[in-house]
Structure 1
Amino acid sequence: MIWVASYSRWGNTYLRTVIHDCFGVFVGSQYDDFRWSDKLRSIVGYDNATEAQTDLIKTHEYATGDRKAIYVVRDGRASIVTFYHFLQIFSPNKPELDELLRGEGTQHASWSAYVKSWRHSSNSFTKCMAT
């Protein structure tokens, strides 16, 4: 199994769509992306995959273990602002922007802590989609 790893709102869904559209490969998710429409679910190949269903699994978690990863990178300034706007719509907590910058108000760590976790991981072998 290979992780398709990214911080929230970094473009993981876009990459999943490209992989599915170009290679016909479904990228699963370790999350229940229940809010997605059936059309979007089919475009990205979402099916709450297990290891038996696909070799590629989306994650927003820290780098752990020895599984390989495609690590999606996006400019932290843009991703934090996008994540902030997303949380203002979908999160009951609605954290402030400065809280997100410190890694507070959400289950995710700070952007910089997340980057460090994958940057120093021996299992991250591809860095792509730098925008």
Structure 2
Amino acid sequence: MIVWVSSFPRSGNTFLRIVLKHLYGVSTSVVYDVDGVAERLGAEMVGFIERPAAIEVMRESSEVHFVKTHRQRDGQIEETDPAICLVRDGRDALVSWARQRSETDSGRYETELQAMITRRDRVGTGGWGRNVLSWLRPPAPHRVLLRYEDLVRDPRTNVERAVATVAPQLRSLPGARIPAFSELQRADDRFFRRGHTATHRDELPDELHELFWSQPDNRAAMLLLGYDENSRNPDGSVR
């Protein structure tokens, strides 16, 4: 059995994998040939394991296999595959990814960010809105929405809720402890940058904010998730 751990880059996927490792003792493989995050942070920290077999074989196994992907939902994912769909405000995710991509040359930040906002690839990661919509439409009970805000606010409760839907046979470990964000920052404070919401407020220039909302898929995904142009949370409160 495969459970996809899906998200657009910089939406909290690594933290989710760490929580899965600490709460359930399960490791995650990746859809890619190389796990760059595990290479950077260490396989033990991330909870990385090499894929034991081809995706098709893993799908037919009685064992639960968690597989990370940043790709849009495509032909490799079957309609019946369970998934934890981790989503973050697209503005925050894009800002964070552009910062990471310009780590060694901060002058490239806005160029990277603009390119990310306007990308329209129909395969692979693609643009933020198209990626999110591919996993959330049409809605399916076995594709569970997990918001970044909820993950960082209460990781135990919200991950347990998601896992209870996609892999109800799993039980959390007695005495499981989830690392605090400050601990992760000490390991790599450039990878674990800020760890909170609304980072776009002081990192997304006004003209790029307008460009973000001008992309139809971004607008559709943001409205589907309950975000608006005034940086409000889905419950209506201001961040």
- Establish whether TM, by shorter chain, passes 0.5: yes
Matched, 1:61 2:87: no
TM-score normalised per structure 2? 0.47
Query: Residues 72 and 127 of structure 1 are in contact (CA less than 8 Å); yes or no, is this contact kept in structure 2?
Result: yes
Tell me if the contact between 1:27 and 1:54 (Cα under 8 Å) persists in the aligned partners: no
Contact 1:30/1:48 (8 A) holds in 2: no
Contact 2:101–2:112 (CA under 8 A) maintained in structure 1: no
CA deviations on 1:10-57 (whole Å, 9 max, x unpaired) are 111100000010110111112212464586311222122243685110
Is 1:97 matched up with 2:119?
A: no
Give secondary structure in 2 for the equivalent of 1:4. strand
Task: Decide whether the 8 Å contact of 2:11 with 2:88 is kept in 1.
Answer: yes
Q: Which residues of structure 1 form unaligned runs of 5+?
A: none
Q: In the alignment, what sits opposite 2:134?
A: 117
TM-score, normalisation: structure 1 = 0.81
Q: Do structure 1's residue 83 and structure 2's residue 72 form an aligned pair?
A: no
Q: Which residue of 1 aligns with 2:44?
A: 42
Q: How many residues align?
A: 128
Matches of 1:87 and 1:38 in 2, distance apart? Answer: 14
Give 3-state SS (helix, strand or coil) of 2:44's partner. helix
- Asked if 2 retains the 8 angstrom alpha-carbon contact of 1:17 and 1:43, the reply is yes
* Corresponding position of 1:126: 144
| CA–CA distance in structure 2, aligned partners of residues 71 and 21 of structure 1 | 19
Helix, strand or coil: the match of 1:96?
helix
User: Per the alignment, do residues 11 and 120 of structure 1 end up closer, same or farther by CA in structure 2, a change over 3 Å counting?
Assistant: same
Question: Are residues 120 and 35 of structure 1, via their aligned partners in 2, closer, same or farther at CA, if it must alter by over 3 Å?
Answer: closer
Higher relative CO (CA 8 A, sep ≥ 6), structure 1 or 2? 1
Distance 1:22 1:49, change over 3 A: same
**CA-atom RMSD, angstroms?**
2.8
Distance change >3 Å, CA 35–CA 14, structure 1 → 2: closer
Indicate the SS of the match to 1:108: coil
More helix by share: 2
Aligned-pair identity (%): 26
Which one has a bigger Cα radius of gyration?
2
SS in 2 for 1:109: coil
